[in-house]
């Protein structure tokens, strides 16, 4: 029997990857996909009427009212086409009998490599150099960077992405100091990094990169207090989830010079901005606009995952999840409330 799925927040590249993967494998043709451009929220949930499931992305919202509406219109499954699930009220899904599934891994390389790209660009000011040279300005003033070699890199979250990032930074000759709420000692034993306390990581790191999920514990983990504990001139990278960072606190730390550079692929209030072309509009988010004014801040619009390999892997795993549902409770792609702060 065909399962019908309403796919929200779809851009051309999403539709193309799903079609490509569906065409490559006849089993996936048992899934009938309807693509919708809008994000899932209270206003758009009714679009799912007549579908067995919805497929959503990072800035779709499945809070209580949305889940109630989805339940009312007969939806039984929420398939996230991403790893994070902080935008879904898992307890309420369980209460209403909605299954939630995700794509825990698609290409950790995509995200880790983008994070390194942010670090290198900020350190060697490649974004400025590009414009200068195009403008016939070959002055080096203001472009001075530092060697990564020999520096200490703090990695918070040693899951799939954190491990790849640690390996790349180790390749530069950095000392990698890691913290994870659920450490995997075998990784440290293998020499990939050393585990330490979070306080030690904050104190000792020249570069700090966030690779942990957004949970109650990690919300605003970069704040006035933790920033004060860091080295002057620290480089902070966040390619995980915007609310890990208290934006007002980093703005103050950028103004005082405490933060030497900030690379973001995610932003607390990105839901109103990212993935859309707003180049003809006035951005109303003054905090975001203030962030953009700093010469040592580089922001990308949640594109770290965006490689060919990753988007096809996302489509394939999403379709496999939907075909296989209901997933066994211990299936790694099944998301249940108890997994919120579980290791993987
Ligand atoms: P993962 O689940 O493999 O690893 C997350 C790690 O964080 C685990 O080792 C876990 O034990 C650890 N952790 C959990 N709570 C923690 C805490 N309180 N403090 C420190 N560590 C904690 O996840 P993966 O695949 O490495 O992804 C990491 C994050 O990257 C995701 O949660 C997601 O938010 C983000 N992401 C961003 C993308 C982008 O395009 N910018 C794409 C994919 C993921």
Tell whether 96 is covered by a domain.
yes
Which protein residue has the closest C-alpha to ligand 1 atom 36?
Answer: 240
> How many Å lie between the centroid of ligand 1 and the Cα of residue 304?
13
Pair 114, 96 in one domain: no
Measured distance CA(25)–CA(6) in Å, rounded: 20
Q: Please write the tens of the pLDDT for every residue from 317-337.
A: 999 999 999 999 899 999 999
Pair 142, 280 in one domain: yes
Measured distance CA(102)–CA(79) in Å, rounded: 6
Identify the domain containing residue 185 by its residue range: 108-299
Q: Please write the tens of the pLDDT for every residue from 79-105.
A: 999 988 999 999 999 999 999 999 999
Cβ(53) – ligand 1 distance below 6 Å: no
- Do 70 and 88 meet the contact criterion of CB atoms below 8 Å apart? no
Tell whether 337 is covered by a domain.
no
Domain count, the chain: 2
- Do 93 and 330 meet the contact criterion of CB atoms below 8 Å apart? no
**What pLDDT was estimated at residue 84?**
87
Cβ(304) – ligand 1 distance below 6 Å: yes
Within a 10 A sphere around the Cβ of 159, how many other Cβ atoms?
Answer: 20
Pair 311, 283 in one domain: no
Q: Which residues are catalytic?
A: 241, 270, 302
Measured distance CA(213)–CA(113) in Å, rounded: 18
For residue 65, is the peptide bond before it cis, meaning its omega torsion is within 30 degrees of 0?
A: no
Pair 184, 284 in one domain: yes
Judge whether residue 152 has pLDDT over 80.
yes
Pair 226, 271 in one domain: yes
Pair 252, 273 in one domain: yes
Pair 76, 166 in one domain: no
Can you tell me which residue has the tokens 């000759």? 173
Question: Three-class SS of residue 138?
Answer: coil
Measured distance CA(310)–CA(294) in Å, rounded: 31
Measured distance CA(1)–CA(8) in Å, rounded: 22
Instruction: At 236, list the tokens.
Output: 């902070």
Q: Please write the tens of the pLDDT for every residue from 43-63.
A: 999 999 999 999 999 999 999
- Do 47 and 38 meet the contact criterion of CB atoms below 8 Å apart? yes
Q: What is the CATH number of the domain that holds 143?
A: 3.40.50.720
Tell whether 336 is covered by a domain.
no
Pair 16, 82 in one domain: yes
């Amino acid at each position: 029997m065909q399962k019908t799925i309403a796919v929200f927040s779809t851009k051309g590249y999403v539709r193309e990857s799903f079609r490509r993967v569906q065409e490559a494998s006849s089993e996936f043709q048992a899934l009938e996909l309807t693509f919708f451009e809008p994000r899932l929220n209270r206003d758009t949930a009714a679009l799912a009427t007549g579908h067995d499931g919805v497929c959503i992305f990072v800035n779709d919202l499945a809070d209580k009212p949305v889940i109630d509406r989805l339940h009312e219109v007969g939806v039984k499954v929420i398939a996230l086409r991403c790893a994070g699930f902080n935008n879904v009220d898992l307890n309420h899904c369980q209460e209403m009998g909605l299954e939630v599934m995700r794509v825990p891994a698609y290409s950790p390389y995509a995200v880790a490599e983008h994070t390194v790209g942010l670090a290198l660009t900020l350190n060697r000011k490649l974004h400025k150099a590009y414009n200068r040279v195009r403008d016939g300005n070959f002055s080096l003033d203001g472009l001075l960077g530092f060697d990564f070699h020999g520096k200490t890199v703090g990695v918070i979250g040693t899951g799939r992405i954190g491990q790849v990032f640690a390996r790349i930074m180790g390749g530069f000759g950095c000392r990698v100091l890691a913290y994870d709420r659920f450490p995997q000692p075998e990784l440290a034993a293998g020499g990939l990094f050393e585990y330490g306390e979070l306080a030690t990581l904050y104190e000792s790191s020249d570069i700090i990169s966030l690779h942990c999920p957004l949970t109650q514990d990690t919300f605003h983990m970069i704040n006035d207090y933790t920033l004060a504990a860091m080295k002057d001139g620290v480089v902070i990278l966040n390619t995980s989830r915007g609310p890990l960072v208290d934006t007002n606190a980093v703005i103050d730390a950028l103004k005082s010079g405490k933060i030497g550079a900030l690379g973001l692929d995610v932003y607390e209030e990105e839901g109103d901005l990212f993935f859309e072309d707003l180049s003809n509009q006035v951005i109303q988010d003054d905090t975001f606009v203030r962030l953009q004014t700093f010469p040592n801040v580089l922001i990308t619009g949640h594109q770290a995952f965006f490689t060919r390999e990753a988007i096809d892997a996302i489509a394939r795993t999403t379709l496999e999840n939907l075909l296989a549902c209901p997933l066994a409770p211990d299936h790694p792609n099944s998301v249940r409330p108890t997994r919120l702060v579980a290791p993987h």
